[in-house]
Structure 1
Amino acid sequence: MLILLLPAAIVGNYSLPAPPASDVAALTPSGTPLPTWVINGTLYVLQGGDSAIAMYVPRFENASGVYTITLRGGRVVVQAPPGVMIEDISPRPERVVVNKTGLYLYLTGDVKVTYYFFTVTVTPPRPPPSPTTPPPTSPPTTATPTPSPSPPPTATPTQPQSPTVATPSASPQQGQALGTELLIAAALVAAITAVLLLRKRGRGNCADLNETDQAIIKALIDRGGVADRSDLQEALGLPKTTLHRHLHKLAKYGYIKLEQLGGRQRVELLRKC
């Protein structure tokens, strides 16, 4: 994780040292979240004249193309978007979800994930060559006998040439069938990976939330659906960074709305479990 110390500014404008693989979070020195945008490798932060701290996970590459990430403890959600193949993961996921945005794995404890990127390329079939036209054959030649008292000579007819027969190559239908088989094989690889990792499917409401997320929702319900961030932190006894991470997760999933009011942040409950 990269941690950037940002000088005081009304609206900060910074070139990121590495492309981000995660959302960029910016905080005031007191821990209050700040609005951020990343456009073409440039970070914009609405600082309001104060200094700030920005954090994000950078993208990285290696020569082998296979990557391994290790996370220590806690409840973890691993997302593999289309084009990412998970080669190995431990421990076994408690829950697996597959939809059009990718593969989601839910785990608890120390997590180790090995993965790589892949693409499926289908080569169009080549058109078959034109068949060879056989050359014309010469008709047989017959000699005309000469009138003579002696028996007329008999001419031997010339044998016609054998025509050349061209062997056509594979038909376009065979090439199309090969491309279809490649697509089906790629889909089967993705489906088999999800089935092998599947242990059980989560049921019920709030299946994507952990105990801390549900405790935040309950605290908002007890306060009529609206509370200041500082009030939630004091009531739940959570560190600022932990509360910040869970609030942004709940906002992303549509459970709450975060609103900045001056120097404080207001948290509003949008839907319950």
Structure 2
Amino acid sequence: MLVILNLTAPPVLILLLPAAMFGNYTLPAPPASDVAAFSPSGAVLPTWVVGGNLYILQGGDPAVAIYVPRFENSSGVYKVSLGGGDVVIQAPPGVMIQDINPLPRQTKLNKTGLYLYLTGPATVTYYFFKVEIKPPPTQPPATTQTAPKATAPPTATPTATPTATPATTSAPQPTPTATPTPPSGAGAQTQWLVGAAVAAVAAVAVAAYLLARRRGGGGGDCGDLHETDVAILRELEKRGGSADRGELQEALGLPKTTLHRHLHKLSKYGFVRLVQVGGSQRVELVRGCR
């Protein structure tokens, strides 16, 4: 079983499961939501969670399981702890990893984010930041001055032609460039490295966002949303921006697994926020869809 932790708000765990008739797996973290499972063709598979174990009727095929793990959120800083096994942590653009233990054995970076490969048990603490692009300062227009016309003096016959000795101009010396030094300590070095990598990913994300806006002609935000996603957002707007998960399922007439899949998509892209309240979960509208 390969565990992929996506550092979103809230975090999302993706379990890549081997082929089995009836799968029995120890969950890497206690679930804070229902566990949805799918076959390679996208069909929903029956699941049961009993005493920290996940049971899936796979029918001899591999499967993918998705759920929100238990997490801590203190003033916008999230903390997730996972059990043993192979773990891949994905930090999308806009995520800053504050601390990670153990240190990753391998890192990869592409336009979708930073990927950290390690072996559990593992704990990661992270938060979100925004990248603001400010236009360059406007330079005042240069003032063109017209030199006064000089009156030519009377022509005189020179008695000797002086020989001018050109002045020797020394070449400008290059200014030494300071090389940034990462902070000392293993944890501080990791945070410095991850912060620099995430900043680079954020720059790529901003460029991709501006390109997508240009291709979309400056329209609304619903272009990539399914009609079910839009229906969920509309229902939340009707209910004042907040609703219990069970109320949404009943109002929209959706299966539990279908609602689960669409809510986590909307949460990942910043349309809704999933808040655990006791034994239930509330869905809060973060931004609407024009």
* Larger RCO (alpha carbons 8 Å, 6+ apart): 2
Tell me whether the two structures share a fold, i.e. TM-score over 0.5: no
TM-score (normalizing by structure 1): 0.33
Which protein is bigger by CA-based radius of gyration? 1
